[in-house]
Structure 1
Amino acid sequence: MEKNYKMIAKTFFGFEDVLADELRNLGAMRISKGVRSVQFEGDKGFMYKANLCLRTALKILKPIHSFYVRSEKDYYQKLYEFNWQDYLSANQTFAITATLQTELFSHSQYVALKAKDAIADAFRNATGNRPNVDVLHPDVAFHIHIQRNEVIVSLDSSGESLHQRGYRLATNIAPINEVLAAGILLMSGWQGQCNFLDPMCGSGTFLIEAAMIACNIPANVHRKEFAFERWNDFDANLFNVIFSSCIKKIREFNYQITGYDKAPSAVAKAKENLKKAELSDYIQVSQKDFFTTEKDNKQEPLHIVFNPPYNERLQVDTEQLYSAIGSTLKHKYPNTEAWFITSNLEGLKHVGLRPTRKIKLFNGKLESRLVQYKMYEGTKKIHKLENNEDKDN
């Protein structure tokens, strides 16, 4: 039986709770939240499942070595002394990435370069040969994290960031990151409980992630490869068992997922991506201007999530855009829960509605807000009265 070991799932700022919930639901042990990360324990099979299924993880790291340093020389020497041959052979390629939260070093690239030197020197002195570096497609990827004076060396089990799902063939201007989209959807409470609309869908990322959540489709089912598949201890039979088990948990979805975009090019790109994701049966995309639409059935609940254009990526009239968003939601979309993310904090002042929730996130390097608006049929006051009458009865 495989032993459990510590792993670290990296994520975006603000998604630590969501990722911890995902890990708990998957069956992880000893979960503890950090900043942009969640630590947990599991065995090799769980590592495979985490890479395959987690929607809000960017990387799954397996720590293999840790030590404390006082200087650059100390850092090199302790890396040199580590037994790298347990994880890497001289005829394999490797790559190193690094992140820093320390005053000992100022540049992550320098830290990675010194680690590369230590590994190369250790191999050359022990075997007469050294492994080569391949930053694009290495056989083994290492990650080094330095916090204050503690160095943690990990194997990167994911390889390319897990936001690269494998379904997105075409993009529009500044498409939303897939992990960011999935995290927003989960944070909004989306589980496939009603109809869904992205009124400014672009290349369709929210639509696809919403369908995958609703149908319980593994997040990375379309991905071609994970880094752990190139490890010496990769168990192909175990991975196939895990993959098949996850596929069997896919469920039917009995509502409609709809996307609008007024740009014909965006609609075409979204349809290409839907086809690649094999989700065309669940999602309808139409060329429509959201501000000229209204809800088809005003009685049925509707979940809206979208990413409106903003000045950093598209030139728009901020006041007019956000005012139109608020007006359209208020007058044409009753009985709707609407969420959107924006980095244009000034624009939010022009929506004309009071958000029920406002959550700080980052879209790339841009500080943003995820806001929620609950649209009732009639006024909010009437809605509260009706709810109170129901409770009394």
Structure 2
Amino acid sequence: MLEKPFTMVAKTSFGLEDVAAEELAQLGALQIEKGIRSVSFKGDKALLYNANMWLRTANKILVPIHQFPIKDSDDLYNQIKKMEWENIFDVDQTFFIDAVVSSTIFNHSQFPALKAKDAIADRFREKFNRRPNVEKFNPNIKINLYINQKNSCVVSLDSSGDALFKRGYRESRSEAPIKEDLAAGMILLSGWDKKVPLLDLFCGSGTILIEAAMIAFNIAPNLKRAEFGFFNWKDFDSQLFNKLKEEAIANKKFTNTRIIGVDNSGRVLGMCRANLKSIDLLDKVSLKISDFQDYTPSTEPGIIISNPPYGERIGDEIEALYTDFGDTLKQKFSGWSAWIISSNMEALKNVGLRPSKKLKLFNGSLECKFVQYEMYQGTKKMHKTENAVND
């Protein structure tokens, strides 16, 4: 089904395209091209499997299998029906079509998805006198349909199945977690060298800590996943996949890197411990119950990466919390580099420090700033400003 090298598309979040492209380069991808929330590349089946297993900042890996212009809905139906779907999956398997449409022909995505579904079902019925069933929530085969403003249609297979941020390790979740791909992207964007300590002062259920540990110890983020979409393709090479998985297991490299999590809730730290235990990292991460203001670092200077409360979720006293956070950095973290993500731009101004970097990211649908504060050791460069963050 797949001739090599073939084109693939890694879907990612806004602001993580450069990081995803670098990850792909490290995996040996060819002809890497960055788009908006996506990175296209070329490679073979081994790269497809490795991209799903190893990419930390991707949500999906799509494999385009056909592209064509369309004139109307009947044209879409006929073009989809011509495709040899029986070479991709069996009539006994279920499928689902996810359509993304910005076309002049269709007003919404449901109608073209329905036409494509009918075309695939009719092809199977004509060949086998039976048709595969549609399953929305857990289909064997996911198909992506993209129709652009020029009415060009791209049909892709979703090789991932569930979104790749669903790593398979999360046993428990706190009230305001960030997605795993965003947490990994923040760590990679920070430039952490995996040598100095990494500290999360609002660790919650441990997403940043776990992603940091997997980066530090060269653990493939999706090693724990039970299934990928490509498992259900007719040309799935289980022998090749198992070989690559064994290589990933063998490539773990445990070091003495210090990774530390602080939270003021014993209940939430219990969730964090459960998540760390599920991925066999409980003994690799230090946890401490404490308010962030009361925590005093016991290591050499390192990097702080945190997702403090935004205000959208907890409401009151958010500005005071950010003021206290800035004061704590100044009083206790000389020589450290601190990164925080927040969608509350007014609250960020209360940190009272001039940011050295500001990056635009999204936490779900919330537009955020990922902000760095350099706490220069032994200097007075911690400039206070009323307008610390400007859009």
Partner Cα distance (2:242, 2:85) in 1: 29
Q: Normalising to structure 2: TM-score of the pair?
A: 0.94
Deviates most, 112-121 or 96-105: 96-105
Kindly state the Cα deviation for residue 254 of structure 1 after the two structures are TM-superposed: 1.3
Percent identical = 48
Does residue 1:364 correspond to 2:364, yes or no?
yes
Unaligned ranges ≥5, structure 1: 383-393
Alignment of 1:140-155 (within 5 A): 140-148=141-149, 149-155=151-157
Partner Cα distance (2:164, 2:317) in 1: 35
* Contact map agreement 1:192 1:253 (CA 8 A) in 2: no
* Contact map agreement 1:139 1:227 (CA 8 A) in 2: yes
Kindly state the Cα deviation for residue 88 of structure 1 after the two structures are TM-superposed: 2.3
Partner of residue 136, structure 1? 137
Alignment of 1:1-393 (within 5 A): 3-148=4-149, 149-297=151-299, 300-381=300-381
Partner Cα distance (1:277, 1:89) in 2: 34
Instruction: Write out per-residue CA displacement over residues 144-166 of structure 1, whole angstroms, 9 at most, x where no aligned residue.
Output: 11222111111111100000001
DSSP-derived class of the 1:252 partner: coil
Kindly state the Cα deviation for residue 2 of structure 1 after the two structures are TM-superposed: 6.9
* Contact map agreement 1:309 1:316 (CA 8 A) in 2: no
Kindly state the Cα deviation for residue 361 of structure 1 after the two structures are TM-superposed: 0.8
Q: Which amino acid aligns with 1:82?
A: M
DSSP-derived class of the 1:58 partner: strand
Instruction: Write out per-residue CA displacement over residues 35-59 of structure 1, whole angstroms, 9 at most, x where no aligned residue.
Output: 1110001111111111000100111
Partner Cα distance (2:221, 2:316) in 1: 33
Kindly state the Cα deviation for residue 257 of structure 1 after the two structures are TM-superposed: 0.7
Instruction: Write out per-residue CA displacement over residues 74-125 of structure 1, whole angstroms, 9 at most, x where no aligned residue.
Output: 2222212222222122222111112223343232233322211221122223
Kindly state the Cα deviation for residue 175 of structure 1 after the two structures are TM-superposed: 1.1
Q: Which amino acid aligns with 1:378?
A: G
Partner Cα distance (1:122, 1:190) in 2: 52
Deviates most, 81-90 or 321-330: 81-90
Kindly state the Cα deviation for residue 301 of structure 1 after the two structures are TM-superposed: 2.4
The 1:339/1:106 distance shift into structure 2, 3 A limit, reads: farther
Kindly state the Cα deviation for residue 294 of structure 1 after the two structures are TM-superposed: 2.1
Deviates most, 184-193 or 36-45: 184-193
* Contact map agreement 2:89 2:232 (CA 8 A) in 1: no
* Contact map agreement 1:166 1:220 (CA 8 A) in 2: yes
Q: Which amino acid aligns with 2:81?
A: Y
Unaligned ranges ≥5, structure 2: 383-391
Partner Cα distance (1:27, 1:235) in 2: 20
Q: Which amino acid aligns with 1:309?
A: P
* Contact map agreement 1:95 1:135 (CA 8 A) in 2: yes
RMSD: 1.6
Instruction: Write out per-residue CA displacement over residues 6-56 of structure 1, whole angstroms, 9 at most, x where no aligned residue.
Output: 101100011110000000011001111111110001111111111000100
Partner Cα distance (1:2, 1:129) in 2: 29
Q: Which amino acid aligns with 2:125?
A: R
* Contact map agreement 2:216 2:257 (CA 8 A) in 1: no
Q: Which amino acid aligns with 2:232?
A: R
Partner Cα distance (2:335, 2:104) in 1: 52
DSSP-derived class of the 1:99 partner: strand
Partner Cα distance (2:48, 2:21) in 1: 15
DSSP-derived class of the 1:346 partner: helix
Partner Cα distance (2:381, 2:313) in 1: 38
Q: Normalising to structure 1: TM-score of the pair?
A: 0.93
DSSP-derived class of the 1:278 partner: coil
